[in-house]
Amino acid sequence: MPALQICYHDHCFDGVASAATFLRFYRDKVRPVPDPALKGMAHKAGQLFSEEAFAGEENAVVDFRFSRDPRLTWWFDHHQSAFETAADEAAFRADRTGRKFWDPAAKSCTRFLARTVEAKFGWDPSPLRELIDWAEVIDGALFPNPQMAVTLTDPPMQLMLLIEATKDPELCPRLIRELSVRPLPEILREPWITGPLSPLLARHHEVVKLVTARIRLQGGVATYDLADLGVDTVNKFIAYAADESTIYTVSVSRGPNRSKISLGSNPWRQEQRRHNLARIAERYGGGGHPAVAAISFPPDQLDQARTAAAVIADELRS
């Protein structure tokens, strides 16, 4: 049994950064575990936590949903849709361990976690400063303009792409271990990062062109369907870079494990957002944040996903 197991939001910069930050904190302030187990978690239709999710002596979940399982000992999240049921939320509210934390107003789980354990346990976040700051920028979409989020000229933005697009199951766990002990800029120069990045960057620039060509903008809502591409995650900002008058995006994609609707709102036009996207997604069993959310369908229910996407796009136009 591993002394510590960390479940984190997989293929997400904030999920990876939260896991690295938690690992550093845990070793600095709780106990120096040599070899934690790291488990990437994905949203999907149906049961999220398998039996192996809580296989450690201590089990942490970061940037991902709450679980009532008594084996869960640490939890940090900032998703509005953190609780699958009212009973889960009641269990969180009744928790007296002082080790489970939720702030749906936090821009990133990473900075929320860092400032929480700094205040409650006297942890020093300064060795991970760059990582924490970039997680806040990326997960909070605090970019100065949509071009920065689409051209990916900054190395940490390229790392975001690598984390989102990699098919190597060892890459995120390795990153978490390295980011917990070394500064971000140093890791960004490593060949095991720059090597796999170059084909992904080339592919990214192709996808940007392809998505831009497919976008249909109507009534402030950009819709596009990428189900034929077989990609689970596509850069969220392409539509805003393509036409800055876009207020919402509704896209359909299909990865190996799910068909997915992604809902977004223009970070540079939040004053025009009239809908809570997490609430809309929750009606279909999905979730997220007021400004960005997603709905997972079983992989064979692409038609249902497309129908629901059309209904939601109409609702956002009204």
Q: How far is the CB of 79 from Mn ion (least distance, A)?
A: 7
Provide the pairing of β-strand 4-9 with 37-41. Answer: parallel
Give the x/- contact pattern for Mn ion in 53-72, rule: CB under 5 A: ----------x---------
C-alpha span between 75 and 101 (Å, rounded): 6
Provide the pairing of β-strand 58-62 with 74-77. Answer: parallel
Q: How far is the CB of 84 from Mn ion (least distance, A)?
A: 17
Of positions 91, 109, 131, 247, contacts Mn ion by CB under 5 A? 109
Nearer to Mn ion, 65 or 254 (CB): 65
C-alpha span between 147 and 164 (Å, rounded): 18
> Segment contacting Mn ion (CB under 5 A): 9-17, 82-90, 91-99, 252-260?
9-17
- As a whole number of Å, the end-to-end CA separation of the chain is 54
Nearer to Mn ion, 139 or 164 (CB): 139
13: its two tokens: 């910069």
C-alpha span between 256 and 233 (Å, rounded): 11
Under the binding rule (CB under 5 A), the answer on residue 139 touching Mn ion is: yes
Under the binding rule (CB under 5 A), the answer on residue 136 touching Mn ion is: no
> Segment contacting Mn ion (CB under 5 A): 12-20, 161-169, 176-184, 189-197?
12-20
Under the binding rule (CB under 5 A), the answer on residue 164 touching Mn ion is: no
C-alpha span between 38 and 27 (Å, rounded): 15
Task: State whether residue 3 is helix, strand or coil.
Answer: coil
Q: How far is the CB of 139 from Mn ion (least distance, A)?
A: 4
Q: List contacts with Mn ion (CB under 5 A).
A: 14, 63, 109, 139
